[in-house]
Amino acid sequence: MYSYLLRCEDRKSFTCYPSYRTIGKAVGLSRNTVQKYVSCLEHKGLIETEKTSVFRKDGSKWNGNLKFMIRPIQSALELYNEQQLLGTGRPT
């Protein structure tokens, strides 16, 4: 799933906006399983997510897809090492 997000990302902003359903279809997993793995990737510091909103023509506000921000591997490794030193990291 991480590889799929890397494939989708905009290389300039390091972001992408696929839905859980789109990710699931691409990697052959259910929506719930995708949610679980997204949480895992967040905890490991490989990605960050942000909720987005969509405004319809009538002005009503709806939830949009998550904005995925892919973190550089080096910063994810540094976060992991810091968590291990502080004893706050969960076993994988």
Q: Is residue 92 part of a domain?
A: no
Structural domain of 74: 2-86
What pTM value is reported for the model?
A: 0.75
- 23 closest CA partner among 2, 42, 39: 2
The model's pLDDT over 4-16, given as tens digits with 9 standing for 90+, comes to 999 999 989 999 9
C-alpha neighbours within 13 Å on the C-beta side of residue 58 = 2
% of the chain residues with pLDDT over 70? 95
Q: Is residue 91 part of a domain?
A: no
> Can you give the pLDDT at residue 89?
57
- pLDDT of residue 92 exceeding 80, the answer is no
User: Looking at the 3D structure of the chain, how many domains does it have?
Assistant: 1
> Can you give the pLDDT at residue 5?
93
The model's pLDDT over 58-87, given as tens digits with 9 standing for 90+, comes to 989 988 889 999 988 888 788 888 888 887
Give CA 64 to chain center in angstroms: 14
> Can you give the pLDDT at residue 88?
64
Which residue reads 């789109």 in tokens? 22
Helix axes 31-43, 20-27, angle to 10 degrees: 100
Cα(50)–Cα(47) distance, integer angstroms: 10
